[in-house]
């Protein structure tokens, strides 16, 4: 995978300038009030359009770091809605019978078990994770490209978006199809050379270094191809929908 030069590029500065007014306000829990809230949402929508149509490149790869650059476990925070409410990470309701349901606007809806996913082409990389709150961490992830699963279920020509659902208190969000088909967008089942654990989204999570952390849905239960753009847990509260890096 390609490397990138250190420092901010003109693309980075443009992206930061557009993202800051809406995403930072949302991250602080402020929606701008009745006067500014519509303007912040308009800025967010403009940022999403520019990011999706002008800045996003389906061929541009995030930097792949050496394994020695991994962050220590304590420097890679874990987040879950259920944990915040109960003090414990969520467990799949079906236990050993867990499976990922892939459907919607597809010709071959399929229920994928963990064994089926692990039998598909595998991608492994060591990349930097970016949180909207400002922290970063480096970790290794392994899984099957979303594009490989898409090839099997055969989306129809009407499919434009993907919705990802989880068992973390109904956490969900949506992706544009181009970002989802990026070669580094995977359904991850391993982290730092070990099977994925509950603190990072076991048994399966969405992962991609081209998105902010809140877009990387953990504890997956379903992946649905849709015609309309899905909302999301944080997106519906004002966070930018695209969430690109």
Domain boundaries, the chain: 62-237
Rounded Cα gap, residues 25 and 136, in angstroms: 19
Rounded Cα gap, residues 232 and 32, in angstroms: 20
The total of other beta-carbon atoms located within 10 Å of residue 69's CB is 14
pLDDT at 232: 96
- Cα→Cα distances 233→21, 132, 207, 229, Å: 20, 14, 17, 14
pLDDT in tens, the chain (245 residues): 333 333 334 344 334 444 444 444 444 444 444 444 444 455 455 555 445 554 556 678 999 999 999 999 889 999 999 999 999 999 998 777 999 999 999 999 999 999 999 999 999 999 999 999 899 999 999 999 999 999 999 999 999 999 999 999 999 999 999 999 999 999 999 999 999 999 999 999 999 999 999 999 999 999 999 999 999 999 999 899 999 88
Contacts of residue 181, defined as CB under 8 A and 6 or more positions apart, other chains included, come to 58, 146, 147, 150
pLDDT at 24: 44
CA 240 to chain centre: 13
The total of other beta-carbon atoms located within 10 Å of residue 3's CB is 10
Rounded Cα gap, residues 125 and 122, in angstroms: 10
pLDDT at 241: 92
CATH number of 62-237: 3.90.420.10
Q: Has this prediction a pTM greater than 0.95?
A: no
């991994």: which residue's tokens? Answer: 70
DSSP for 58-108, written as a single string? TT--PPPPPGGGPPPGGGS----HHHHHHSS----TTGGG--EEEEESBSS
Nearest by Cα to 212 from 178, 176, 239: 239
Nearest by Cα to 160 from 181, 143, 135, 145: 181
DSSP bridge pairs for 194: 191
Torsion of CA 225, 229, 235, 239, to 10 degrees: 120
């Amino acid at each position: 995978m390609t490397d990138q030069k250190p420092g901010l590029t003109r693309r980075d500065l443009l992206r930061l300038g557009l993202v800051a007014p809406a995403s930072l306000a949302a991250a602080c829990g402020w929606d701008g009030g009745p006067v500014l809230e519509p303007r912040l949402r308009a800025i967010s929508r403009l940022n999403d359009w520019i990011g999706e149509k002008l800045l996003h490149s389906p061929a541009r790869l995030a930097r792949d770091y050496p394994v020695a650059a991994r962050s220590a476990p304590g420097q890679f925070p874990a987040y879950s809605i259920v944990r915040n409410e109960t003090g414990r990470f969520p467990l799949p309701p079906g236990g050993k019978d867990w499976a990922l349901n892939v459907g919607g606007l597809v010709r071959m809806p399929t229920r994928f078990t963990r064994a089926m996913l692990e039998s598909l082409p595998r991608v492994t990389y060591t990349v930097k994770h970016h949180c909207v709150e400002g922290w970063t961490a480096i970790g290794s992830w392994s899984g099957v490209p979303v594009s490989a699963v898409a090839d099997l279920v055969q989306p129809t020509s009407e499919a434009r978006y993907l919705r990802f659902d989880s068992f973390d208190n109904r956490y969900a969000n949506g992706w544009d199809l181009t970002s989802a088909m990026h070669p580094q967008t995977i359904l991850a089942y391993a982290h730092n050379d070990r099977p994925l654990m509950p603190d990072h989204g076991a048994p399966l999570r969405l992962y991609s270094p081209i998105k902010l952390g809140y877009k990387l849905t953990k504890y997956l239960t379903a992946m649905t191809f849709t015609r309309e753009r899905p909302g999301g847990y944080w997106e519906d509260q004002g966070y930018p929908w695209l969430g690109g890096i």
